[in-house]
Amino acid sequence: MLGLRAKVMRGGAYLALRLGLGMIIGAGGVLLLTRAIGPGAYGVYGAALGVYMYLFQLSQWGIKVYLIRREEEAQSRDYHQAFSLLLILGLASAGLAVLVLPLLEGWVRIEGFGAVAAVMFAVLPVQLLGMVPMARLERELDFRKVAAIELSGQISYFLVALPLAYRGMGSWAPVAGWWVQQSLIAALCFWATAYRPRLYWETERARAMVGYGLGYSSSIWVWQLRNLVIPLIVGRYGGAVAVGYVTLAIRMLEQLSFVKTAVWRLSIAALARLQHDRARLTKAVSEGMSLQTMALGPFLAAFGLAAPWLIPALFGPRWVPVLEIYPFIALGYLVNAVFNLHSSALYVLRRNWAVTAFHLVHIFLFAGAALVLVPRIGLTGYGWAEVAALPGYLLLHLLFVRYAGRPDYARAGVWLVAAGVPLFGWQLGPWAWVCAALPLLWPPTRRELWRVTVMVLGEARSIGARGFRLSSRRLSP
């Protein structure tokens, strides 16, 4: 029987491998897609996707996280109840979204936005229902299957979107890819778990899910208001092209942040096992935020150094304005890597409203700054809004100290400075790149880098060996 640390490391290795491969596939796919359809069409899709993603988060009610983090073993009736709740929520949310769509069109004022958004809303129930068997896989830390399913979905997206893009379908090309991707992921999740859903209703069970979901979901609803800033503020004052620039910058950062995403996916299931030991929980958060910044920072800084050559060469000269906002958004991602495990731990400790308070402060600073700056200074205003929201993380730190413990920021802070300052190397001058050497000069971060390298290589060899043994068994007579 594998221990928790071994399960987490093995699950993390599979998930990081999937996200690493996804980064390569996604980078190549987005490159071809954006060159084919251009900033305007990509901006229409990006605006509709921003609204869709907020609607998706709004409709979950924390049900997936409830299934993953509950202390008792989940029963079939829990999954059936979750399926029934999500079916109702998905159909109701999609229907209401279509009804209010004319109001959104009038505010956003982007041609073609309404039709694209309506088609995307229709796949919402499918994506929500796929979360039920996905929760079973994540609860069991079976990220090998999760990785295979999600990678298959990503590949299907580009297999559909790219041919349509080169046939002149514009923003409809990624919409078709999105539909196929979400449908395939849901189907594969049901197949991999052999879960056969049925309609089920038990008032007490539903109340338990909704009771947890209200606290968890309210915080997510507030945080995901970030998705609406792009269509509702950037779209209104900058148009579809500006939305395309911001969407591409965020998409590139999501691809580069695959390790951060892997840690977040693992954190709810892993930290739930430590919720009764605050000292171990705090230590795990301290180690996790250091590992995240160590893994994320070099990718972001290196891309920032090469971006002035890479973006025009790969994406074309139409996409050069992305350079204006990349450093600011990347800094936001990097600081979030330091603090996102704080939120995970507070969720596990059922301090959902504490996380909501932080999210309210963050979105007030971010959306407020964007509303003031974007109409006045244009695209760069969105970047400065990211910076204006960073002081909100102080509240998250204070809440974590109150309810869990005092984390150690020393190593994470070194990695943050080492990667954060070079992001603005082209603006600050060559001296900014000297900061990149800080982790190699401080013994604790040197030791941490060596330890993690040895651990990752060992797990990679282990995965490779298991894959070889499995292939040998399949080939043997």
- C-alpha–C-alpha distance, residues 322 and 333, integer Å: 16
Cβ–Cβ < 8 Å for 149, 192: yes
Question: What pLDDT, on a 0 to 100 scale, did the predictor assign at position 218?
Answer: 79
Which segments within 111-215 are labelled E, that is strand?
A: none
**Residue 22, helix vs strand vs coil:** helix
Contact 129, 197 (CB under 8 A): yes
* pTM over cut 0.75: yes
Separation between Cα atoms, residue 22 and residue 302, nearest integer Å? 19
Distance of CA 76 to the CA centre of its chain: 29
From residue 159, alpha-carbon distances to 154, 156, 174, 186, 397 in Å are: 9, 5, 10, 18, 43
Q: Determine the pLDDT at residue 466.
A: 52
Mean pLDDT per block of 10 residues along the chain (477 residues) reads 50 60 80 92 94 91 81 79 94 94 92 94 95 88 81 94 95 96 96 91 87 75 90 94 94 77 55 68 83 84 90 90 94 92 84 90 96 95 96 96 91 88 85 79 70 56 50 43
Q: Coil, helix or strand for 331?
A: helix
Residues with Cβ within 8 Å of 372's Cβ and at least 6 positions away in sequence, in order, are 381
**Confidence (pLDDT) at 358:** 95
d(CA 274, CA 8): 13
What was the pLDDT predicted at 67?
85
Closest CA to 161 of 149, 178, 182: 178
pLDDT at 359: 94
Nearest CA among 10, 72, 43, 24 for reference residue 244: 43
pLDDT of 17 reads: 64
